[in-house]
Amino acid sequence: MQTLRDLPALRASILALRRDGKSVALVPTMGALHDGHMALVEEGRRRAKHVVVSIFVNPRQFGPNEDLDAYPRREATDAHMLQEAGVDILWAPTVDVMYPAGFSTNISLSGVTEGLDGAARPGHFDGVATVVTKLFNQVQPDVALFGEKDYQQLTVIRQMVIDLNLPVEIVGLPTQRAEDGLALSSRNTYLTEEERKQALALPRALGEAKRQMEKGASVDSALAKAIAMLANHGFDPIDYVTLCDAATLEPMTVLDRPARLLGAAKMGGTRLIDNIAVDPA
């Protein structure tokens, strides 16, 4: 595996990988890799001849009071995992390579970015859309893989690829969970032992609300119970627990089409997100 940090080296290596029409998959990450990322890598290997993984903790997608400085960085461990998994290139640009002096472009979507995390984290999806567009232009992958844990992010990227006619196939993979059900996330490392136990209330509250709605309970009452359960387990603040159209993310008050139930709340200092599919009878 080659670890590359500058664009001319990346371009030359991608050109070499592509020789004889060979395909390339990209798994964009911010590092601190876990089994969720590794499942994306595995799927990338099934779908393309070569796999590139990017590790870049993107400052533009963090708000001023968020965890940019604290975000876990452990490139040596990550590189070892990627090497073992048969990755061809680790693309790990510096901030100066990604955003050289004078950088002035911002990719901003309306619609799908407006609610949920878009409302709770102003500017977050501009940062995501801008860096993902740059990563696509840098690596020029045939296929790019993202986890459904960041469901709104996946929806935003799908929309952006359609809107900008980007020549890349987007593949979303189901959320990987710990045995007890907590969604895997690099941010789980911030949780204390006690917070880690209480955090389980998030997947459980969403799971219970899904069961109730699919049995015919009203959306409002199921959401209210889920919010109460999170509050009882010490989540504070609760940014949202909302049922949305699975494709457009428009809020839903009646379960009459395929939906996604999404939640975001803070446990101690750690903001956790999770989501599950909810299907009408």
CB of 208 to ligand PAF, least distance (A): 27
User: Could you give phi then psi for residue 267, rounded to 5 degrees?
Assistant: -110, 115
Q: Active site includes 37?
A: yes
Q: Which of 30, 112, 213, 278 binds ligand PAF (CB under 6 A)?
A: 30
User: Counting contacts by CB under 6 A, is residue 61 touching ligand PAF?
Assistant: yes
3-state SS, residue 14: helix
If we measure between CA atoms, which residue out of 66, 60, 29, 23 comes closest to residue 45? Answer: 23
User: Counting contacts by CB under 6 A, is residue 27 touching ligand PAF?
Assistant: no
**146 vs 131: CA distance, rounded Å:** 14
Binding span for ligand PAF by CB under 6 A among 18-26, 106-114, 126-134, 168-176: 126-134
3-state SS, residue 89: strand
Query: Which residue carries 């567009």 as its tokens?
Result: 133
User: Could you give phi then psi for residue 274, rounded to 5 degrees?
Assistant: -160, 165
Q: Which of 13, 58, 176, 188 binds ligand PAF (CB under 6 A)?
A: 58
**240 vs 238: CA distance, rounded Å:** 6
Q: Which of 131, 170, 201, 246 binds ligand PAF (CB under 6 A)?
A: 131
If we measure between CA atoms, which residue out of 264, 44, 9, 253 comes closest to residue 146? Answer: 44
CB of 54 to ligand PAF, least distance (A): 7
**17 vs 89: CA distance, rounded Å:** 10
User: Counting contacts by CB under 6 A, is residue 13 touching ligand PAF?
Assistant: no
Binding span for ligand PAF by CB under 6 A among 3-11, 125-133, 168-176, 198-206: 125-133
Q: Which of 14, 128, 144, 259 binds ligand PAF (CB under 6 A)?
A: 128
CB of 127 to ligand PAF, least distance (A): 7
User: Counting contacts by CB under 6 A, is residue 130 touching ligand PAF?
Assistant: no
**Separation in Å, CA 93 to CA 24, 55, 138, 236:** 18, 8, 11, 35
Q: Which of 10, 13, 25, 28 binds ligand PAF (CB under 6 A)?
A: 28
CB of 278 to ligand PAF, least distance (A): 23
Positions in the binding site for ligand PAF (CB under 6 A):
28-30, 58, 61, 128, 131-132, 150, 153
Catalytic residue list: 37
